[in-house]
Structure 1
Amino acid sequence: MNLKSLHGTLRISHLENMLDAEDARKANLNGKKNLDALVMKWEFAHDDLQEAGIAIDVLDMLQPWTTVKELSIDGYVGVKFPTWFGHPSFSNMVLLRIENCRKCTSLPAIGQLPSLKDLVLVGMAGVRSVGPEFFGEGCSKPFQSLETLHFENMQEWHEWIPCGLEYEEFPHLRELFIFECPKLQGKFPLHLPSLENLSVCKCEQLVISIPSLPMLHELEIVGCKEVLNESMVELSSLHSIVFSIPDLKSLTEEFILGLTKVKNLTINDCKELTSLCPDTLMSLVTLDIRLCPSLNNISLTSTLRTLKIDGCSALKSLPMSNCMCLKYATIQKCNSLTFISRGQLPPALKGLYIYNCENLQFVADEGEASSPSLLMNEENFNCNNNNNASHLELLEIRDCPSLKRLSSKGNLPTMLKHLEIWRCLELTSLSSIDQLPASLKYLSVRFCPKLESIVDKLQINVSLEQLRLVYCKKLKSLPEGLHKLCHLNEINIRGCSSLVSFPDGGLLPTSLRKVLIEDCEKLEALPNCMHKLTSLQQLSIWECPSIISFPEGYPTNLRVLSLTGVDICKQLFMWGLHRLTSLTDLSIYGGFPELQSFPEEDEEGNLMMTLPTSLTTLEIAKFPNIGFLSSKGFQNLTALEELWIFYCPKLASLPEGLPPSLLKLRIYECPLLKQHCKKGKGREWFKIAHIPRVEIDWSQSLSYLEMQLLNEMNQTVSKDTFFNTRSFIADDRSGRMLKFNGLAWLFLSVPKGSSLLYKEEFEKMNKKHQITSEM
């Protein structure tokens, strides 16, 4: 085979197996003049001087033709590079990668390559100094074309010796990256006129003195010893800064004055930083401050649009009132913050997110001028009392255990549309004035065990569309006027164990599309006239043992229906399931000891009830005495795609002629049916052999959606904890919170239809391990 005309890229691996340089010479790489790229790799390195000597000779003989454009050397075990390496005759070379050449003590004279644009040096563990030999002895203009220079994981690199002012090094360098060089000290080249991106990370001994870099756009310094910023330097093009320097105490006024065009500033893990005053950065748009526990003084510029503060435990005030352009602010783990006054809320602010502020007591409060938590003045109060009030639209508060109410002396922000509160254990009410903003569309309060009331009465002009109240144990009543809210489309009430009845005679607005009422043990009756809710599509009545009747029937446009409880299910069967002609999803948690079949048949085999033919998903559970599923009851379910059967211990027979549309069958804790449905053996197997997915007593695992929800809550829960608890989940995907032996809070979700199974499993585990859903 003639390889002289070889084009493109040639990769040569396992060069450690080449023990004779003569074999390398025979490869005749120098004669392959059409190669564009050459990759050479040694896979294993040994502390063998003979092997190192062979490697030098082998690499010398593998010299490519001078027209090669890209060259990559990985794992080379020689102590030096051959003389051809970096020779200026390689005038077409634009990319050079040298990686994991751990025995080399110096770099080759790469600076003489006239067309080199990208240089990557990684894992050069033996190199202690980068100096004249790197630039090329006697070369007055090294690296004339270089645009990107990347140093990484050079564990012994101590110093970089620049050429000096008389040399014009790196005139076109645009990007300089230095990562994981823990012993590096000294200076960088001072004259980098074209540099646009400088990133220095994990160089623990390096003290950086930032030179004037007029073209620099992005600056990142992370994990270095110190940054010297005493004087003003030319950084007129700089747009983005990231500093993460544990010993950084301040950014000097002189340094900040040179940052006239900075738009994004990130300060992270600067443990000694006590003061930050970027108020002169008149182009600043985004400010992100994290893990600065000593920071106690901050002033903000009026141009700021996005603010994030996380882990600044000494910060007592948020002087945002002069941030006239601020739209979104996130405040997290600021434990010295006790309340945020309305005078601190900028007029343009649309979204405010507050998480894990342990001592926060009030938000959007009028405040007191003497409070150490505020930077308040008369102008702020005047601004608040006039038309320049906050336009806050979204307020989300989570895990603030000292929060008592949102406002102690006034209304909530008048433009508020979205209000969400999670796990605020001392919250008793939303505001001292009994009124919600007319603009409010979404209200969700979850796991606030002391909340007694939202408001007493809702005004007719309130725009509320979704109301969610989850595990508010002391909530005794819902606000009056609920039935007058013409925009309300969802009510979700779960775990409100003190709730007894609905207000206004139990009426609900006809605009409702979704009603979920679960785990409300004292709730005595459902709202009246529910059969008139012609827009209602989803209804779930779950674990409400005091509700024993549903006398007026169901809205016939329902698409999803989930019910538990013998009495309420009996009434549904008597009323007539078949009347729900649009129903696609039906979940029945039974408990009927008298039922022998489902659907029920009389002694002569006639159906006592008919299922809607529109069903696509059917879930039945806990029918202790049913022995078979009626063939007549299933023969018209031509759209059925999923069938779920749980906890039917005497069920032994499936219906004849299950519909061909059925795609998934799940059976759990039905021991007789499990025996009869053994693949290829059981007497019922022939009935289900055509179904694409059959799962019987399947094992559970933590799903992707569950992990998403855990991340959302910033909780860390091991899979072992999950498997030990085998936690139950709600079927509307919003989940439940459980506590397992005081170890961890779980907030999990599984696909729709699993709620019956998980509820039953929870009850079992509760007896064994004292799991509780109490706060």
Structure 2
Amino acid sequence: MLPSSLGELIHLHYLNVSGSAIKTLPESLCKLSYLQTLKLGSCSKLTMLPNGMYNLVNLRHLDITGTPLKEMPKGMGKLKQLHILSNYIVGKQKEYGIQELGGLLNLHGSFLIQKLENVVDINQARNARIMDKKHIDKLWLEWSSGNDMVSNIQIEGDVLNNLRPHTGLKELIIDGYKGKIFPDWLGQHSYNNMTSVSLYSCKNCCKLPSLGQLPSLKSLTIYGFSELKCIGDEFYKNEDDHTLHIVPFPSLETLKFMQMPCWELWYSPSSEAFPQLNNLEIEECPKLKGDIVNQIFMRIVSSSSDVSKVRTLFMHAENFTGMSLDGDSLSLRGCEWLVESTFMATIIHHLTSLQDIEINGFLCAAISLPKSLQKLVIWNCTELEFPEQQQHKYDLVELEIYASCDSLASLSLDAFPNLKTLSISECSNLESISMSEPPHTALQSLTITRCHKLEALPRKMDTLVPNLQSLHIQDCGRICRFPEGGLPPNLQKLCVNGSDVLLRGLSSMGKLEALTHLEIYACDYESRINSFPEVDTLPHLPSLTTLQISSFQNLETLECNELLHLTSLQQLHIQYCRNLQYLEREKLPSSLLLLEIKDCPLLEEGCENKHQHIWPKIKHIPTIRLNYEDFSK
């Protein structure tokens, strides 16, 4: 609360209590006849203003944004000096009505009128003189969302008709209007400064206003039109005006349709329409036919002067579908109707510089790859047919396949001589990955996870991918050995998650003198290893600095002696080994700077209690971390 003595500060010009928990303002506030700025924004508990607000005759700025006032005080029309009034809440009684706005002709900037459902007299709307407020740039007209009962739809329409703004307005928002049609003034070409129109939750409207003739309109959002079934010619041009020959939506760049559950038909405009459109978003419009959207999208692509700026997104009620272009990247998400072969061919024809394609969630489709393509990502497309590998060479640099391409049994890297990164996950029928001479010198990163039919890593990896730096093998249960000749000599990071047979054969990895990071994960649901590393299972790794041992559910003993030859080891991470409790033989390597233990309760207990069979083997390590917290020695 503010003290009543506030009214004694008779020379006060500026008062700001925004964001406070204030519940009421003292009536003495209304004695501050010199007050020019009063900021009450985001006062979440303030519901009423003092009754004598009309006495603040020099007030120029009143901000009540985000403050839940029930209505405005009476006599607001006497505040002739007001330049900035963030919003006006219409009351039910006449003295708190909208007609009080008639005297506020100096309003500037953005202005919101709320609770317009309380306007039941057309004359009150007319007397608000919205047309005469020449300095307002943005007008927001709002009917309360919780008030769905409309006593007279005709009055609702007449009220909006009499709230017509001046023709210099730049931005218009209409929210919660419950009439069936919009007044004729909305969309007239005389509003030549209008750049943005948003129509929200106009649930009874069955026809959109004629907005296509607004010459400067750049952004249009249509949201929550529950009854609208069809968008036709009326959207592009006023049928009663035969004198205009403006291209429909000549400046529109962004068009959004959202939550229109009954929308089925979108009649295609002339081929000249939307010459500047580069962002089309359609969300939760489940009945809209895909072929219509395709036509609109292709018109955008084919007519855009800068196709790299085109971005289109479709989201339907039951699934996520879409297409977006961002620079040289194309992203496709959803249903197969978006990637019919002819449709994709047309897109690729226009997008000659396309470098990235992402495809997510398509049920069935075949794709062809443009020559320029550098990156291909495929997600959740089980029936998608992977491009034929034998007949073409592709310039791909990055290829990622996740839970897709069930028909893919064999992948040959010979078709991708420039590939640097390959990631394959959950390809249910993949049995082999192959490569042949000459060496694939570009490949630097290879990740293979959850490919349960894959029986082996590619042959001769040590010579055919000599520059491979990162290798990640996870949950490929049929892989039981490393390839003959070992792994590539320049490998720097290796993550192995596999069977006991594979983990016991780590010594066959070869001479990995460049390896700095090694992660070893057991298949915890089946591993029977109780002591690790077993004798001579780790090869000579002179550059290794980080070792992680994880998910050995039956592991009881860590053999310290088998780690002593790791003379460069600085970090040892042990995690998710719930039965591990012993450190056998010598102490851990003297080069260690960090020992981190997570979710290994028996070993953690031994460390905390400084058990005589554990503490002497780790106390030389500068930092010991137990479950993310540094252990105090």
Question: TM-score, normalized by length of structure 2?
Answer: 0.75
C-alpha distance in 1 between matches for 2:30 and 2:480: 89
C-alpha distance in 2 between matches for 1:362 and 1:283: 29
Contact preservation (8 Å) 2:282, 2:313: yes
C-alpha distance in 2 between matches for 1:673 and 1:281: 70
Correspondence for 1:262:
217
Q: Give secondary structure in 2 for the equivalent of 1:488.
A: coil
C-alpha distance in 1 between matches for 2:48 and 2:505: 86
Contact preservation (8 Å) 2:348, 2:354: no
Listed one character per residue, the Cα deviations across residues 351-410 of structure 1 (whole Å, up to 9, x for unaligned) are 6544333x628524279xxxxxxxxxxxxx9xx7xxx973236xxxxxxxxxxxxxxxxx
Q: Give secondary structure in 2 for the equivalent of 1:390.
A: helix
C-alpha distance in 2 between matches for 1:34 and 1:78: 22
Q: Which runs of 5+ in 2 are unaligned?
A: 237-246
Equivalent runs, 1:453-472 vs 2, <5 Å? 453-460=386-393, 462-472=394-404
Q: Does residue 359 of structure 2 align to residue 421 of structure 1?
A: yes
Correspondence for 2:239:
none
Deviation of 1:235 (Å): 0.9
Listed one character per residue, the Cα deviations across residues 476-513 of structure 1 (whole Å, up to 9, x for unaligned) are 43355x22533101222222342222345598622101
Structure 1 residues 597 and 70: CA distance shift in structure 2, 3 A: same
Deviation of 1:42 (Å): 8.8
Correspondent of 1:573 among 507, 528, 548: 507
Q: Does residue 316 of structure 2 align to residue 333 of structure 1?
A: yes
Correspondence for 1:520:
451
Deviation of 1:522 (Å): 2.9
Structure 1 residues 621 and 76: CA distance shift in structure 2, 3 A: closer
Listed one character per residue, the Cα deviations across residues 250-274 of structure 1 (whole Å, up to 9, x for unaligned) are 3355x533x1111122222223140
Structure 1 residues 506 and 248: CA distance shift in structure 2, 3 A: farther
Q: Does residue 167 of structure 2 align to residue 214 of structure 1?
A: yes
Listed one character per residue, the Cα deviations across residues 172-217 of structure 1 (whole Å, up to 9, x for unaligned) are 333433445466999xxxxxxxxxxxxxxxx999962363632111
Deviation of 1:696 (Å): 8.7
Listed one character per residue, the Cα deviations across residues 552-586 of structure 1 (whole Å, up to 9, x for unaligned) are 11222212112223444344324556x33342243
Q: What is the number of residues matched between the two proteins?
A: 577
Q: Which runs of 5+ in 1 are unaligned?
A: 1-11, 16-23, 46-54, 187-202, 368-380, 394-414, 698-775
C-alpha distance in 2 between matches for 1:339 and 1:184: 33
Deviation of 1:115 (Å): 3.3
Q: Does residue 281 of structure 2 align to residue 303 of structure 1?
A: no
C-alpha distance in 2 between matches for 1:223 and 1:527: 62
C-alpha distance in 2 between matches for 1:665 and 1:587: 15
Correspondence for 2:198:
242
Structure 1 residues 685 and 211: CA distance shift in structure 2, 3 A: farther
Correspondence for 1:586:
519
Equivalent runs, 1:533-682 vs 2, <5 Å? 533-549=465-481, 550-563=483-496, 564-575=498-509, 579-589=512-522, 596-598=531-533, 600-601=534-535, 609-622=539-552, 624=554, 627-630=557-560, 633=563, 640-641=570-571, 643-647=573-577, 649-653=579-583, 656=587, 662-663=593-594, 665-668=596-599, 670=600, 672-678=602-608
Structure 1 residues 597 and 43: CA distance shift in structure 2, 3 A: closer
Correspondent of 1:81 among 38, 41, 51: 51
Correspondence for 2:243:
none
Q: Give secondary structure in 1 for the equivalent of 2:340.
A: strand
Of 174-183 and 677-686, deviating more is 677-686
Q: Give secondary structure in 2 for the equivalent of 1:558.
A: coil
Deviation of 1:515 (Å): 0.9
Contact preservation (8 Å) 1:588, 1:621: yes
- The amino acid that maps onto 2:38 is L
Correspondence for 2:626:
694
Q: Give secondary structure in 2 for the equivalent of 1:561.
A: strand
Correspondent of 1:319 among 290, 295, 299: 295
- The amino acid that maps onto 1:355 is R
Contact preservation (8 Å) 1:32, 1:64: yes
Correspondence for 1:510:
441
Contact preservation (8 Å) 1:184, 1:205: no
RMSD: 4.7
- The amino acid that maps onto 1:544 is C
C-alpha distance in 2 between matches for 1:543 and 1:35: 71
Q: Give secondary structure in 1 for the equivalent of 2:199.
A: strand
Q: Does residue 106 of structure 2 align to residue 144 of structure 1?
A: yes
Contact preservation (8 Å) 2:403, 2:425: yes
Correspondence for 2:82:
116
Contact preservation (8 Å) 1:86, 1:110: yes
Correspondence for 1:733:
none
Q: Does residue 259 of structure 2 align to residue 291 of structure 1?
A: yes
C-alpha distance in 1 between matches for 2:22 and 2:116: 19
Correspondent of 1:282 among 250, 268, 274: 250
C-alpha distance in 1 between matches for 2:130 and 2:459: 88
Q: Does residue 160 of structure 2 align to residue 228 of structure 1?
A: no
Contact preservation (8 Å) 2:569, 2:589: no
C-alpha distance in 2 between matches for 1:648 and 1:97: 58
Contact preservation (8 Å) 2:322, 2:332: no
Q: Give secondary structure in 2 for the equivalent of 1:228.
A: coil
Deviation of 1:237 (Å): 0.6
Q: Give secondary structure in 2 for the equivalent of 1:653.
A: strand
Structure 1 residues 206 and 541: CA distance shift in structure 2, 3 A: farther
- The amino acid that maps onto 1:562 is C
Structure 1 residues 233 and 86: CA distance shift in structure 2, 3 A: farther
Contact preservation (8 Å) 1:284, 1:301: yes
C-alpha distance in 2 between matches for 1:451 and 1:37: 64
C-alpha distance in 2 between matches for 1:217 and 1:696: 55
Listed one character per residue, the Cα deviations across residues 63-110 of structure 1 (whole Å, up to 9, x for unaligned) are 44432222357767889713xx3236x4364335495565x7x63333
Structure 1 residues 682 and 79: CA distance shift in structure 2, 3 A: same
- Which structure's relative contact order is higher, taking Cα pairs within 8 Å and 6+ residues apart? 2
- The amino acid that maps onto 1:423 is G
Deviation of 1:31 (Å): 4.5
Structure 1 residues 693 and 217: CA distance shift in structure 2, 3 A: farther
Correspondent of 1:172 among 116, 135, 138: 135
C-alpha distance in 1 between matches for 2:625 and 2:597: 8
C-alpha distance in 2 between matches for 1:127 and 1:685: 81
Correspondent of 1:71 among 32, 38, 53: 38
Contact preservation (8 Å) 1:36, 1:69: yes
C-alpha distance in 2 between matches for 1:30 and 1:286: 53
Contact preservation (8 Å) 1:70, 1:95: yes
Structure 1 residues 524 and 132: CA distance shift in structure 2, 3 A: closer
Correspondent of 1:33 among 1, 6, 11: 11
Listed one character per residue, the Cα deviations across residues 440-491 of structure 1 (whole Å, up to 9, x for unaligned) are 222233333345653141523x2111222333473343355x2253310122
Deviation of 1:239 (Å): 1.0
Q: Percent identity?
A: 17
Structure 1 residues 442 and 389: CA distance shift in structure 2, 3 A: closer
Contact preservation (8 Å) 2:518, 2:546: yes
